[in-house]
């Protein structure tokens, strides 16, 4: 029987959170820096471009907050959770590229598939992380909060 400590403890969880925060930060900054300079000054305040950018930025901020809420409740990720978290971060990292493709080819089926498929990827991974975190919190005394979070998690899967 080994007495070596598991790598999946509080320190690992904090490092995973920090790494995730870096991915969120880079993704948000890439969204802004990847806005193409229009060829015509009349296009500077084009509503579709700014609306799509602002919505995508807001969704990534919402996802950061949801990710934080998962980790704040003594969540100790195991190997499947780490893999799902990395899939989630893949979706976050791809978001600036998906937005650029969508803005450059707005009516193209492939650009729509990439953009909204990326949303499905990170919302599906987020729902899975929430589900896994809720399983760890079975003994949590705040049953009303857990029930609300279970309902939100179950609702998220059909949306994906």
Please say whether the dihedral angle defined by the alpha carbons of residues 130, 17, 67 and 32, taken in this order, is positive or negative.
negative
Write the burial class of residue 86 (CB in 10 Å: 0-12 exposed, 13-18 middle, 19+ buried): middle
Percent of the chain scoring above 70 in pLDDT: 94
Percent of the chain scoring above 90 in pLDDT: 48
pLDDT at res. 5: 52
Which one is predicted more confidently, 11 or 84?
A: 84
- Per-residue pLDDT for 120 more than 60? yes
Rounded Cα–Cα distance for residues 7 and 3 (Å): 12
The mean per-residue pLDDT over the stretch 96-100 comes to 92
* pLDDT confidence bin for 137, thresholds 50/70/90: confident
pLDDT at res. 4: 41
Max CA-CA distance within the chain?
71
Rounded Cα–Cα distance for residues 23 and 159 (Å): 24
Predicted model pTM? 0.83
* pLDDT confidence bin for 129, thresholds 50/70/90: very high
The mean per-residue pLDDT over the stretch 133-158 comes to 82
Q: What's the chain's average pLDDT? A: 87
């Amino acid at each position: 029987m080994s007495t070596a400590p598991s790598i999946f403890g509080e320190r690992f969880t904090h490092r995973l959170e920090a790494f995730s925060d870096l991915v969120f930060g880079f993704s948000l900054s890439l969204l802004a820096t990847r806005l193409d300079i229009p060829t015509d000054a009349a296009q500077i305040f084009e509503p579709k471009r700014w609306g799509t950018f602002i919505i995508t930025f807001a969704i990534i901020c919402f996802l950061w907050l949801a990710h934080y809420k998962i980790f704040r409740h003594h969540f100790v990720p195991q190997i499947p959770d780490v893999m799902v978290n990395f899939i989630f971060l893949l979706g976050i990292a791809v978001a600036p590229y998906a937005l650029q493709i969508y803005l450059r080819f707005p009516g193209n089926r492939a650009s729509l598939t990439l953009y909204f498929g990326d949303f499905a990827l990170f919302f599906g991974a987020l729902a899975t992380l929430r589900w896994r975190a809720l399983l760890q919190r079975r003994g949590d005394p705040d049953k009303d909060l857990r029930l609300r979070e279970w309902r939100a998690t179950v609702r998220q899967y059909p949306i994906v």
